[in-house]
Structure 1
C-alpha cells in the first residue's frame, strides 16, 4: 500500500516539484542517455477501447521513472501519433499552475489545532524520529504536517535517491510531447479534487500507511524496485496484488475514494470521447491501478459492450486481449499471400511517427 502513490494521486506532488514544460526531446544527461539506449523499452500497459467509429487508447502510467525507462515502446509512440488529443488525470495547465505548491502545503497542514505528535502513537513517534534523524531532521520540524503528507514525503525521498523523478514520469513526458506536437492536453479532474481526496483519507488509515513505511524503512528500496520492475515488464498480476488488492484490503475507505469513486467519475468522460466520432481518437493516461481488476476502467468499459484490445507488440500469443495473428491459407504454389492487418491493430515494427523518446532532464 505504501507505493500506491506511484500509481495514483502523485500528480499534484509532481507539480509541486516540477520545472516548467520543456522540450520532449531534451536529453537527460549523456551518461544516463547512454544507459537508456542499452535497455529494452518497458512493455506497455496499453489498451484500445473502440466502438463502431472511434477509439480511445488507455495507458497505465508510473508517475515517477528513471532515465533508462526511455525510449518508450513504439506502441505508445504510435498511439500518441494516432491520437488527436491527450487526456490526463489533471491537465498540464492545472498541474503546472504556480499556485499549486501553496495549495498543496495548505492541505498538508492541520487546520484544527492538532499536531502530528498528538495523533501518532508513541512507538510510531519514536520510529519517525529515528528516520528523520538520519537526514538531520526531527519530529518537531514536521509536527504541523498530517500523516499522509509525511508518508508521501518519505516515499518520494527514497524514490528520488534511487534515481526516480516525477519529471521523468510517463505523464509529464507525454505532456511535453503533446505541447511540442501542438496537441490538446486535457484533464479528467481538477487539481483541487486530487488534493481533497488525499487530504480526506481517514486518520487511522493514514497512520497505518505511515506505520508500514516506518516499521521496515530498510526494505523500501527493494520493494520499490520490485514494483517498478513489475510495471516495466507489464506483470499485471503482481501489480494488481501489490497496488490494488493490498490497498483494498488494508485501507478500504482510502481505496474507495482513490480508486472506485474516481473510476466511476471517469467512465462517462471516456464514453463521451468515444461518442465524439468526428473529433478523432484520444490517448488517456492514468495511474496504472485505475486499469486493474474488475473495478478498473478496462473491465468497466468491457462490461458496457466496447471492443477491448491490448496493444502490445512485445506480448506473446495468448496474452489476454492481444488478438491472434490471422491465419491465411497458402496458395497452390506454396507461398502464403500477404497477411492482412491483425484485428488488434497492433503497431508495425517500423519507426513510429513520433520519434521523440528521450525524456527531459530531471
Structure 2
C-alpha cells in the first residue's frame, strides 16, 4: 500500500514487534546522487522549509547536500512527525498495548475466508508466524507487512532521512521538535474501525508481489525531486481506500498546515521533515496551506 510506506514514522517499533527476525541483505555499494524536493514558506521574519522524507533507504544514496543541506544548516530548529523514544522498546510496548484485541476475536477470524490463506502465507514468508499476531488487531499485522519485505530487500531504517536529520541536528545543537506524539501517531491506526483495519491489511497483502518495483519507483521519483510523479503513482492506493487516506494522510496534512500558519507568528527559521507522501498531490500540506492563503514555493536544490 503506497500511502503507508511514505507516511509512517513508526517503522523501527514495527520491526521490534516482529522480533528482529528480518535481516537486511548486504547490497553492493551503488552511489546515487539524489535531489529531493524542498519547499519554503516565508513571511517578514519567519522561514519554514518543508522537506519530504523516506523513512527507510538503502546505503549510499547521497541526498543530504545542495539546497536541502543549506536550508537545514540555516535553520534554528528541526521539526519531525514524531520524536522517537531513545529506548525503542518503549514505543514497541505502547504499540503492543494499543494493538491488543479487547474483544477476544482472533485476527485471522476477522478476515474474509478467501483472504486468510494469502495473509497467513505472507506472514510466514516474511518471518512472522501469523499465530503470534492472533491477539492483535489487524492494523498491527498490516504495519509489520508494510515494513518487513523492504528490510529483506536491503532498505534500512537507520539510513532513513529522519535518522540522518535528527543526528545532524543534535550534533549541531539545534532544537528538535515534533508535530505529533508517538501515542497520537499510533492512535491513527489503533482507532481505525475494524473494517478499515481489515481493508488496510488486505490491501497490504495484495500489494506485496509488486512491492519491490513499486517502492523502487516511488524512491526514484523522490530522488529526482518529482513530487507530481510521486503523487500520480500514489493515486491508485489513495482512491481505493479513501477513508484511510482521510485519516492517515489528508486530515493530518490539514492539522500540520494550521500548525505552520500559527508558527509563522514566531520569528525564526525551521526545517520541517515529514513523509514525502504528505507533500505530494491533492490534499498535500501545500494544498492545505493554499486554502489558508499561504504559499509554499519550491526551492531550487
What's the TM-score once normalised by structure 2's chain length?
0.87
Q: In the alignment, which of 239, 251, 257 is matched to residue 249 of structure 1? A: 239
Using the TM superposition, give the Cα deviation of residue 187 of structure 1 relative to its aligned residue in structure 2, in angstroms.
Answer: 0.6
5 Å matches for 1:111-122?
111-122=102-113
Using the TM superposition, give the Cα deviation of residue 299 of structure 1 relative to its aligned residue in structure 2, in angstroms.
Answer: 2.5
Alpha-carbon distance change, 71 to 122 in structure 1, aligned in 2, over 3 angstroms: same
Write the distance in 2 (CA, Å) between the matches of 1:305 and 1:65.
35
Residue in 1 that maps onto 2:215: 224
Residue 312 (str. 1) matches residue 290 (str. 2): no
Using the TM superposition, give the Cα deviation of residue 8 of structure 1 relative to its aligned residue in structure 2, in angstroms.
Answer: 1.2
Alpha-carbon distance change, 215 to 290 in structure 1, aligned in 2, over 3 angstroms: closer
Residue 88 (str. 1) matches residue 85 (str. 2): no
5 Å matches for 1:66-145?
66-92=58-84, 94=85, 96=87, 98-135=89-126, 138-145=129-136
Write the distance in 1 (CA, Å) between the matches of 2:240 and 2:293.
32
Write the distance in 2 (CA, Å) between the matches of 1:81 and 1:197.
32
Q: CA deviation digits over 1:263-298, x for unaligned, max 9?
A: 222223212322112xx2000111112222342211
Residue 262 (str. 1) matches residue 255 (str. 2): no
Residue 156 (str. 1) matches residue 144 (str. 2): no
What's the TM-score once normalised by structure 1's chain length?
0.74
Using the TM superposition, give the Cα deviation of residue 207 of structure 1 relative to its aligned residue in structure 2, in angstroms.
Answer: 2.3
Aligned residue for 1:112, secondary structure, equals: coil
Using the TM superposition, give the Cα deviation of residue 219 of structure 1 relative to its aligned residue in structure 2, in angstroms.
Answer: 2.2
Alpha-carbon distance change, 95 to 115 in structure 1, aligned in 2, over 3 angstroms: farther
Deviates most, 152-161 or 203-212: 203-212
5 Å matches for 1:1-362?
2-9=1-8, 11-15=9-13, 17=15, 35=29, 38-40=31-33, 42-92=34-84, 94=85, 96=87, 98-135=89-126, 138-215=129-206, 217-243=208-234, 245-277=235-267, 280-313=268-301
Using the TM superposition, give the Cα deviation of residue 136 of structure 1 relative to its aligned residue in structure 2, in angstroms.
Answer: 6.1
Aligned residue for 2:117, secondary structure, equals: helix
Q: CA deviation digits over 1:337-358, x for unaligned, max 9?
A: xxxxxxxxxxxxxxxxxxxxxx
Write the distance in 2 (CA, Å) between the matches of 1:238 and 1:203.
32
Using the TM superposition, give the Cα deviation of residue 71 of structure 1 relative to its aligned residue in structure 2, in angstroms.
Answer: 4.4
| Structure 1 runs not aligned, ≥5 long | 19-30, 314-362
| Structure 2 runs not aligned, ≥5 long | 17-25
Deviates most, 48-57 or 137-146: 137-146
Alpha-carbon distance change, 157 to 274 in structure 1, aligned in 2, over 3 angstroms: same
The structure with more helix, counted as a fraction of residues:
2
**Count of residues paired in the alignment:** 292
Aligned residue for 1:208, secondary structure, equals: helix
Using the TM superposition, give the Cα deviation of residue 17 of structure 1 relative to its aligned residue in structure 2, in angstroms.
Answer: 4.6
Write the distance in 2 (CA, Å) between the matches of 1:183 and 1:110.
41
Write the distance in 1 (CA, Å) between the matches of 2:283 and 2:52.
15
Q: CA deviation digits over 1:12-52, x for unaligned, max 9?
A: 2325658xxxxxxxxxxxx97x935x322x22221011112
Aligned residue for 1:57, secondary structure, equals: strand
Write the distance in 1 (CA, Å) between the matches of 2:262 and 2:86.
23
Write the distance in 1 (CA, Å) between the matches of 2:208 and 2:14.
24
Aligned residue for 2:283, secondary structure, equals: coil
CA contact (8 A) 2:3 2:238 kept: no
Q: CA deviation digits over 1:230-282, x for unaligned, max 9?
A: 22122222321233x334322222211112221222223212322112xx200
CA contact (8 A) 1:88 1:285 kept: yes
Deviates most, 207-216 or 291-300: 207-216
Alpha-carbon distance change, 102 to 138 in structure 1, aligned in 2, over 3 angstroms: closer
